[in-house]
A and B are shown apart, each in its own frame.
Chain A
Amino acid sequence: MDDAVITDAALAARDGDRAAAARFVELTQQQVWRLLAHLADRGAAADLAQETYERAFGSLRRYRAESPARTWLLAIARHVAADHLRRRARRPVAPALLDDADEPLGAARPGDVAEGIALRLAVDALPTDRREAFVLTQLLGLGYAEAAQVVGCPIGTIRSRVARARADLVEGLGSTTTAGEAAVREP
């Protein structure tokens, strides 16, 4: 993957290379945003992603490439999401309004929208641990080993959480998947 490129960019950014810092953000921001959108909340994801990068840049001097920079960054994003949820739990606020800037840049094909929304809702309804494992491995495309590194748990834990998330989704999306399956079987 681009893990090597991302890590190189992080190391160059650490030594003060601004162009490398920009490249590091460009290469990782979609994954960071998606993780935060699913772990925290969609409306705040952009702000939380910004907070993630600020924290990452703040501690970049101590980054020694022991784990790939992307894994390291996603672990920080995970902490940012947890802190956000803790803050929100302490003082409840009105639900955030959807910002235009937070809307997807690419247009979805109309047929996918219903399925996409149903799936998104089902994923966001998963218990935190399973949602985390599922989002990391399925929506961000991380391997089990990488996801385990981000979460800081054994690979076997990721394995079982992903399986349980799948089981929940199979149940939750029962009708949709049948429709989906029918659609797939059409030539």
Chain B
Amino acid sequence: MSRDRIRGLPRPVGNPQTVEDDLPGMGPSDCAACREELSAELDGEGDPARRPAVRAHLRTCPACTAWREQAAVVTRLTRTAPAEAGPDLVARVLPSAPRGSRRRVGARVALAVVGVVQIVVGIAALVGLVGHGDGSAMLGGADMAHMGHETAAWNLALGTAFVAGAWWTRHLAGLLPVLGVFIVVLAVLSGLDLAAGRVEPDRVATHAVLLVGFVLSLAVARSAPRRGPGPAPRAVAGPRLGEDAGPDSARTPLASRDDLGPVARARPPRRDVA
């Protein structure tokens, strides 16, 4: 076994201990480093920079040369071994697959319906009101007829917002504060008016449509796929690997290579090692 130092053969990054342990009887650390590189080459993950040093070592080390052949045989055996097949699990696991969509679609349809109802309420109020102002009972510079027009305009606007939100769901979140404030203020005032006998319960009941629309908007907005961090596995939170980023590589910036140590070459297509 050669005791010659392999010139220029770098030690494996992050594993200074690798070379000493777990290779009983393999001799000096050079052999372990050499074999690690040989092993990587078998997987198409070799580092071309280390290649010359490894070749130089192989010329002087028959043990490593023999090891390379044995390792190649083991690799070939592994890859040509009959593939073990597990049972088909589709039917067993499918019940736990997300079914969010159906509920979400239901909520969107319901929201659109509520929007249409709200629009109808608005139009009905408008038709009933047009031309009925009598000029009495001014309030804040407008007579009751004009107050009615303003109310009708609001009802129409909210109905349209529900229908639009059911279609373009991404805009719903922006609508929620407006709706929320409107409903809270309206609920408090309606309560006071009801207590004071200033409004018929029937009229207040029409506001329930708004409330239902608000709840549905909330449901649709919340059921949208969230933008939080990925789930538990450490791998997801681990160092971002520039290579093999797959389909999302266009969406996410590639990690800097500097902190990754040796970056593996792209894996060449499988070839037989024999």
Contact = CB atoms under 8 A, between A and B. Distances in A.
Interface of A: 3-4, 7-8, 13-18, 21-22, 25-26, 29-30, 32-34, 37, 45-46, 49-50, 53-54, 57-68, 71-72, 75-76, 78-79, 101-102, 104-106, 108-109, 112-113, 115-116, 119-120, 123, 137-139, 141, 143-146, 148-157, 159-160, 162-164, 166-167, 169-170, 173, 176-177, 180-181, 184
List the 7 closest A-B pairs by CB distance, nearest first: A16-B101, A33-B86, A59-B231, A75-B233, A21-B97, A163-B39, A152-B234
Given A152-B234, A153-B238, 13 more contacts: A16-B99, A16-B104, A33-B87, A46-B89, A65-B251, A66-B236, A67-B236, A72-B230, A144-B43, A145-B241, A149-B241, A152-B235, A173-B74
Given A13-B98, A18-B97, A155-B262, A65 B87 contact: no
Contacts of A75: 233-236
Given A21-B97, A137-B43, A181-B69, A64 B89 contact: no
Nearest to B103: A16
A25 B248 CA distance: 20
Interface string B208-226: 0000000000000000011
29 contacts: A3-B247, A7-B246, A16-B104, A21-B94, A34-B86, A49-B89, A50-B89, A60-B98, A61-B226, A64-B230, A65-B251, A68-B244, A72-B236, A79-B232, A101-B87, A112-B80, A115-B77, A119-B78, A138-B43, A143-B45, A143-B243, A143-B267, A151-B235, A156-B261, A157-B15, A159-B45, A166-B75, A180-B77, A181-B73
B93 A149 contact: no
Contacts of A67: 230, 235-236, 241, 245-246, 248
Identify whether the interface residues of B are mostly helix, strand, loop, or mixed.
loop
A19 to B, nearest CB: 10
A160 B82 contact: no
Contacts of A181: 69-70, 73
Contacts, number: 270
Interface in B58-80: 67, 69-71, 73-80
B261 A138 contact: no
A105 B236 contact: no
Nearest to B228: A62
A160 B231 CA distance: 28
B14 interface: yes
Nearest to A34: B84
A78 B233 CA distance: 9
Given A143-B267, A146-B244, A163 B40 contact: yes
A8 B246 CA distance: 11
A156 B12 contact: yes
Interface of B: 12-15, 18, 22-23, 26, 32, 35-36, 38-40, 42-43, 45, 67, 69-71, 73-90, 92-94, 96-102, 104, 225-241, 243-248, 251-252, 260-264, 266-267, 270, 274
Contacts of B89: 25, 29, 33, 46, 49-50, 53
A173 B72 CA distance: 13
A65 B247 CA distance: 8
A152 to B, nearest CB: 4
Given A67-B236, A154-B239, A170-B74, A61 B225 contact: yes
